[in-house]
Structure 1
């Protein structure tokens, strides 16, 4: 082990850990009596190692978020070794905790997932890709928060040079092309990290037990990510993770924010509440429609009772009544009040309400981030066509830009948007099969060329 450097204003305490290119030491900042972690390079500032440390300091210092490890400073030691001063995370990494305590609960995994996806969205919005998300790079701070560490191989979101990603967490497009990946690659790696919190291992190590790196890489390239074999992991969460782990980047969530929203909706379905998204200019919770749906679902029992005897007819009746009640309440409170029926009763338009029932874009907020956020589509409406067997929806883009596309998904009669099956179109129109026995609803967002998504989708329904 190299001798810990002498740094003015800091007192050496001990060793935290080591990696392939650096040691991490614990120091005490004498002026504040605050413990910090100082990452010191193992070499004497050759160009590559020096560039890595400078990159880490630049990227992390500008990314201010509770779930990104804070950078306090950087420099070069007297003997030429680069160093970076970080917030000290006394509770170790997610990898350490899995090794010591076993897998995480579903509730904790969802909570961490929303927080980390929020931080990742902030990084991506700043055109920064992490490129090495994994359990060992998620540290637990003194406040008990998960924080993304080690932006040393992070880079601009449009820089596709080969760098970063550890094989168990790397998406197939990075392994296949040896490219640097993009924001969708980070979403994949975050999903693999959350998967490991529930399964104890990365997805392909868990499922296929490869014995070599070559076997692992072959699994990632040619085999599907399997569901987690845990009875308490709900299918809704399995679907969210497997979508984020889709081998085709185009089929994953469009942004880390959309990934966070999907995790929030699972939380609300299971527990009746959600971890807020913490990004300036972004609503902390999903739209009122999603909240209403998930809240209704969350009010139902989370698990079946002990085996009943001779109660099958009663159970079937109770289920039917419960479904009808949930549908009726949500339809009356969400869909019906917002439908503007036309004279021929074949078209309808719904203005997407905000969390407080007001239009989502009419809050008068002049915050810089809000001013630069992607707007929602406007004038979204649906009309029955082809003998009422289909509904054609059209909308307008209030701020069209080169490369704009539109992400849309069907909304069920209960108001639940099927985010796991969201699709992209290039033009502001889509035709869908008409829903039997109720209104046909969709929600739409604008997707910019830089992969920023409308902070809130707009919803519309057509009713006969």
Structure 2
């Protein structure tokens, strides 16, 4: 292992005065600056000098443009400016969020159920707002949720975001602990429901104080996490104050197969509102623009103009609190889940009116039934899990019984621009092989990413030693028992 790298030099920016370092990243550093006019503190994200290839520049520009489209949302970090410094490094000037973000809080604080629900609903509003303008975040996790000066969660880092309908694409930079199974598959695929999974995984971490499939005191390597994410039921939160209804919401949102999840972040938010109402808590309103979903979205029917803006839920299912009910057995068939009703208009300063939104049954439940019938017709027996996918099935015993070797020949070469190129060899190549890798530091476990080729480029580190670990991952999800590690002085 090696100590954390030295930060890059803060650039000289006209109209801003450097204050201090805020954080280090894989491709950029973040600094606190003081803006001269208007006077305010701002966070400035600056690309590392060794990261200025075309792909990284494109990601940086994409992040600036996407966040600018969404900056009006109260739970998305505001972008003030994007430009290029005198030394050639691109930078973003962003809202400075002074309070501890979720990455710090979930490991060190006991977050109340009330606060976790409020944060979850506000984040779901932000994710839904992004989806409505055609943007998938693809990397929702505690580290990408800051906290504004007024205590609101603020989603940031749209660097690997994609356009809705574009597909998952490359998964480099993806954070494994909060990623859904379909993004960990040999051929990644994803849509809005992938963000739904990561949103719920983030709320889970806030409540549990750990990542969803992390085993306290156990082996939590990348290969173990991937296997659990793909095959293990969601572990209980281990808190007596969390109602079963809240765990049921997270469990559905993090279902292994996308068709069993909530169809949208909006649906997650409404389910969380229902839990608030059942607990007798104030219902957190949704922050969504006055715009309908796309008419061709089969998972959410278009609404009339008067019903496109969500109102605070005044009366939600006034019946026996759902948290007092006994949850169904794990092997019980999934029941159709209806949308909540907004029963009364709510006066707002804008003068708009609310309209009752009719409860609907997700079309995906019908699709699941069709799949079940088709399976019964072909096999002669009912399929107990009609929505399961072969992507998440257990491998044959003959395959599972063989150990996955560790990569060999890991070596690195420092380039003229101070980046380090690492390469390694796959001792037993097989179809669908991938690799998890991460930079080793003295401050904690590496944040792992997935690549398909046996090479990675580590950005400039300021001349210090660079160490990484690499594991081989088979198409069936099995991985090397021991990662291979290597360093470059």
The two structures have a TM-score, normalised by structure 2, of 0.61
Q: CA separation of 1:151/1:217 partners in 2, compared to 1, >3 Å: closer, same or farther? A: same
Distance 2:105 2:352 in 1: 41
Could you tell me whether the CA contact under 8 Å between 1:43 and 1:49 is conserved in 2? no
Q: Which structure 1 residue ranges, 5 or more long, are not aligned? A: 304-351, 359-363, 381-405, 410-421, 428-464
Match of 2:252 in 1: 243
**8 Å Cα contact 2:184-2:226 kept in structure 1:** yes
Structure 1 position 357, deviation (Å): 10
Match for residue 95 of structure 2 among 74, 82, 87: 87
For residues 417-432 of structure 1, the aligned pairs below 5 Å read 423-424=365-366
Distance in 2 of aligned mates of 1:34 and 1:141:
14
1:143 partnered with 2:150: yes
Asked if structure 1 preserves the Cα contact closer than 8 Å seen for 2:141 and 2:199, the reply is yes
Say if 1:207 and 1:226, in contact at 8 Å, map to a contact too. Answer: no
Aligned to 1:104: 111
The 1:114/1:180 distance shift into structure 2, 3 A limit, reads: same
Q: Distance in 2 between matches of 1:223 and 1:426?
A: 21
- 1:128 corresponds in structure 2 to 135
Distance change >3 Å, CA 376–CA 231, structure 1 → 2: closer
Equivalent in the alignment of 1:347: none
Pair 1:10 & 2:16 matched: yes
Residue 252 of structure 1, CA deviation: 0.4
- For residues 65 and 278 of structure 2, the distance between their equivalents in structure 1, rounded to whole angstroms, comes to 40
For 1:272 and 1:49, the matched residues in 2 are separated by 44
Alignment correspondent of 1:191: 200
Query: How far did residue 206 of structure 1 move?
Result: 4.4
Q: CA RMSD in A?
A: 3.0
Flag the 1:25–1:279 CA change in 2: closer, same or farther, 3 A: same
**Cα shift at 1:172:** 0.4
Asked if residue 283 in structure 1 is aligned to residue 310 in structure 2, the reply is yes
Q: Identify which range, 15-24 or 163-172, moves more after superposition.
A: 163-172
Which residue of structure 2 aligns with residue 254 of structure 1? 263
SS in 2 for 1:205: coil
Correspondences of 1:225-244 after superposition (within 5 Å): 225-244=234-253
Within 2, Cα distance between the matches of 1:78 and 1:158? Answer: 38
After superposition, give the CA deviation of every residue in 1:330-372 in whole Å (9 maximum; x if it has no partner).
xxxxxxxxxxxxxxxxxxxxxx8741399xxxxx979xxx9xx
In structure 2, how many angstroms separate the alpha carbons of the residues matched to 1:200 and 1:104? 9
Equivalent position of 1:329 in the other structure: none
How far apart in 1 are the matches of 2:237 and 2:147? 24
Contact 2:311 2:346 in 1 (8 A): no
**Secondary structure of the structure 2 residue equivalent to 1:423:** helix
Q: Which residue of 1 aligns with 2:35?
A: 29
SS of match in other structure, 2:177: helix
**Contact 1:184–1:252 (Cα < 8 Å) also in 2:** yes
Match in the other structure for 2:411: none
Instruction: Report how far residue 213 of structure 1 moved.
Output: 0.8
Match of 2:317 in 1: 293
Output the TM-score relative to the length of structure 1: 0.64
Task: Give the CA deviation at 1:425.
Answer: 5.5
Q: Using the alignment, how far apart are the partners of 1:36 and 1:354 within structure 2?
A: 42
Residues 292 and 26 (structure 1 numbering): CA distance in 2 closer, same or farther, change over 3 Å? closer
Q: Which residue of 361, 378, 386 corresponds with 1:407?
A: 361
Q: Which structure has more RCO (C-alpha within 8 Å, separation ≥ 6)?
A: 2
Contact 1:131/1:180, CA 8 A, preserved across alignment? no
Find the aligned partners of 2:82 and 2:74 in 1 and give their Cα distance.
Answer: 20
| Cα distance in 2, alignment partners of residues 91 and 357 from structure 1 | 32
How far 1:272 moved relative to its partner?
4.2
Matched residue, 1:361: none
Structure 1 residue 152, shift from structure 2 partner:
1.0
Mark the structure with the bigger radius of gyration: 1
